[in-house]
Amino acid sequence: MQNTNALPTLDQVQILSFPIHQVAQRNLMVMETAAKSPQPAPSHLPYAPRRIFTVEAKRDHEIGGGHAHYECQQILIPMVGEIEVICRAPASHPTEAAANPPSHMPPSLIPPLLMAEKKFRLVNPNQALYIPPGVWGEQIYQNAGDLLLVLCDLIYDENDYIRNWQNYLRWINAHCDQTAKPHENNW
């Protein structure tokens, strides 16, 4: 698991590639982790998944995600269709707060670091997106029937979710202030 005391950045979000082997006119995609392997093996996954689930879009341009995790790492794999993933986190280099923040945003919600955004287009099951803890993620499913497979390093825990953007900015501010991790329910 990553250091959850460190401020997350988009530099930590990575595209992962899995090998495809042609076997009897079919493609076989392999995902392995070296964790607890009795013999040396290539490691395609940065951790052994403890929770696996799928999300299927019911209509075109459906939006999913819209949250971050305090501790959970995720790997997003597009099994069917095209899925755009938008990740947001503090910029990777220290800066001052924006000189002219949006007028509707209270000063307490303006992070000391500027927020950065990066978009990823997932279309092949042999390419996945690794999202570390603390990175805000949204998915846009281009068509009904698009299917996303998600591999998590932790079992489900509702207290690990930051589901509100303002609470996420408060959490980022708390990181910058070197204060203890707040829980969303305490806001």
The tens digit of pLDDT for each residue in 107-141 reads: 555 555 678 899 999 999 999 999 999 999 999 99
- The secondary element (H helix, E strand) that includes residue 58 is none
- What is the model's pTM? 0.80
What is the C-alpha to C-alpha distance for residues 139 and 175, in angstroms, rounded to an integer? 25
Q: Which of 46, 118, 123 is nearest to 86 (CA)?
A: 118
pLDDT at 5: 61
Count CB atoms within 10 A of the CB of residue 163: 12
Lookup: tokens for 111: 């992070």
- Predicted confidence (pLDDT) at residue 185 exceeds the cutoff of 60: no
Domain ranges of the chain: 12-17+49-96+108-186
**Distances from the Cα of 100 to the Cα of 92, 96, 110, 122, 155, angstroms:** 20, 11, 10, 34, 41
- The topology (CATH level 3) of 12-17+49-96+108-186 is Jelly Rolls (2.60.120)
**48, 32 contact by CB (below 8 A):** no
